């Protein structure tokens, strides 16, 4: 397992010691990224509690787009299996749902359950690509984007707007569903769009059955939400600076903290691939990254330690998008490697030995 301290190759023990020294010297450290398996996330929360640090997942934008709407008015959701087996009308919002195999699976599968069993499924899209490989009815989004389009669609559905516009036709198709589903990506839609969508779903359920199928972000954000909830009772952006976990999505936004000069050290955890933050390298940083990643290099941060990649070189509990749960993923190519949880625990042990405690 490779490690670097100030650009020079080092053994892991030396790197762990250097990481502990760097974090112990900080007054306001942040732990960011949090793209790891559940054991790694749990170890990050334990380290943050010891340091009095705050935590912010790289999936924060996607997570809070959904959590804001959920806290305001709740959500009506379904699963992938129910969508494939029951939905006779599926509305696909934006571009991201077309990535991967979900839409192709929905299009190819017959309806086998419920009142619509045996009928033909209708696929609709709003503001998405003109994907000719899958038969669907495509509607263009307003110039203001998907959130504005959903607002107009909701107005047509409620009868506040009338006419022969395309969104009027789309509203009629939605009301004709026996079991409808809207597929969307929260980050692409944004908090306002998600809130408008859930309002539309409530309107539709006054006369028919309609649900949403939100896509999980690719950075273990859903696992972070669940783990944070069962450890702190809060969503992931929490801080331990005053001994108890405090939740504040604005205050503990790591990019904002660092840009404002509030944080003086950071730990970047990306055992799984994650987009490199703009601030990496602008303040004293410990980077714990997956072996073979583009960040596995001495110039990435002051201290860099590589770890096994969950689901590849080591096993780990990860968010399973198909099943909609946290599930254990075996290593596809097992290798001798320390896990993120191991390294974080060793750093925490060093800090405790040094007398560091929030």
Regarding whether 208 and 286 lie in a shared domain, the answer is no
| Nearest residue to 106 (alpha-carbon basis) of 202, 200, 209, 213 | 213
Radius of gyration of the chain (CA): 23
Report if residue 44 sits inside a domain.
yes
Q: At what angle do helices 12-24 and 340-353 cross, to 10 degrees?
A: 60
Regarding whether 84 and 210 lie in a shared domain, the answer is yes
Regarding whether 254 and 192 lie in a shared domain, the answer is no
Q: pTM of this prediction?
A: 0.90
Residue that finishes a domain, picked among 215, 232, 253: 215
Regarding whether 270 and 229 lie in a shared domain, the answer is yes
- What gap in Å lies between CA 350 and CA 55, rounded to an integer? 20
The reported pLDDT for the residue numbered 161 is: 84
Regarding whether 300 and 263 lie in a shared domain, the answer is yes
Regarding whether 79 and 21 lie in a shared domain, the answer is no
Domain count of the chain? 2
Regarding whether 111 and 204 lie in a shared domain, the answer is yes
- Each residue's pLDDT tens digit, 100-139: 899 999 999 999 999 989 999 999 999 988 666 688 888 9
The reported pLDDT for the residue numbered 143 is: 86
Residue that finishes a domain, picked among 188, 215, 242: 215
Report if residue 358 sits inside a domain.
no
Regarding whether 73 and 210 lie in a shared domain, the answer is yes
The reported pLDDT for the residue numbered 130 is: 67
Range of the domain at 259: 3-59+219-353
Regarding whether 189 and 281 lie in a shared domain, the answer is no
| Nearest residue to 225 (alpha-carbon basis) of 273, 186, 182 | 186
Using 70 as the pLDDT threshold, list the residues of the chain that sit under it: 130-133, 358
The reported pLDDT for the residue numbered 71 is: 80
Cα atoms in the 13 Å half-sphere on the side-chain side of 108: 6
What does pLDDT average to over the chain? 93
Report if residue 243 sits inside a domain.
yes
- Each residue's pLDDT tens digit, 294-308: 999 999 999 999 999
294: CATH: 3.40.50.740
Q: Which two tokens stand for residue 196?
A: 């408008």
Regarding whether 278 and 194 lie in a shared domain, the answer is no
Q: Which two tokens stand for residue 193?
A: 């769009």
Q: Is 18 helix (H, G, I), strand (E, B) or coil?
A: helix
Asked if 8 and 306 touch (Cβ cutoff 8 Å), the reply is no
Residue that finishes a domain, picked among 181, 215, 249: 215
Regarding whether 183 and 140 lie in a shared domain, the answer is yes
Tell me whether residue 40 is exposed, middle or buried, using C-beta atoms within 10 angstroms of its C-beta: 0 to 12, 13 to 18, 19 or more: buried
Q: Is 175 helix (H, G, I), strand (E, B) or coil?
A: helix
Regarding whether 321 and 227 lie in a shared domain, the answer is yes
Report if residue 327 sits inside a domain.
yes
């Amino acid at each position: 397992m490779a490690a670097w301290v100030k650009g020079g190759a080092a053994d892991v023990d030396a790197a762990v010691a250097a990481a502990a020294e760097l974090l112990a010297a900080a007054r306001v450290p942040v732990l960011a990224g949090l793209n790891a398996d559940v054991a790694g996330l749990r170890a990050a929360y334990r380290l943050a509690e010891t340091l009095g640090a705050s935590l912010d997942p790289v999936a924060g934008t996607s997570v809070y787009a959904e959590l804001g709407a959920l806290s305001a008015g709740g959500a009506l959701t379904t699963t992938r299996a129910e969508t494939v087996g029951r939905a006779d009308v599926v509305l696909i919002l934006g571009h991201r749902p077309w990535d991967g195999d979900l839409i192709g699976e929905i299009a190819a599968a017959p309806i086998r359950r419920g009142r619509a069993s045996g009928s033909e499924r209708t696929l609709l899209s709003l503001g998405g690509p003109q994907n000719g490989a899958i038969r669907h009815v495509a509607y263009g989004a307003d110039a203001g984007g998907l959130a504005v389009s959903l607002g107009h669609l909701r107005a047509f559905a409620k009868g506040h707007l009338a006419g022969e516009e395309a969104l009027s036709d789309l509203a009629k198709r939605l009301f004709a569903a026996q079991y409808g589903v809207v597929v969307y990506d929260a980050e692409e839609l944004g908090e306002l769009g998600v809130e408008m969508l859930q309002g539309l779903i409530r309107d539709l359920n006054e006369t028919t059955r309609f649900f949403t199928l939100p896509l999980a972000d690719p950075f273990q954000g859903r696992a972070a939400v669940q783990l944070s909830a069962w450890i702190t009772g809060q969503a992931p952006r929490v801080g331990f600076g005053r001994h108890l976990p405090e939740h504040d999505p604005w205050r503990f936004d790591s990019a904002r903290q660092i840009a404002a000069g509030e944080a003086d050290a950071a730990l970047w955890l990306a055992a799984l691939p994650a987009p490199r933050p703009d601030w990496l390298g602008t303040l004293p940083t410990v980077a714990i990254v997956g072996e073979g990643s583009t960040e596995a290099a001495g110039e990435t941060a002051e201290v860099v330690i590589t770890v096994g990649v969950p689901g590849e070189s080591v096993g780990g509990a990860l968010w399973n998008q198909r099943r909609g749960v946290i599930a254990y993923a075996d290593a596809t190519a097992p290798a001798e490697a320390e896990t993120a949880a191991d390294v974080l625990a060793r750093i925490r042990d060093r800090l405790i030995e040094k007398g560091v405690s929030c």
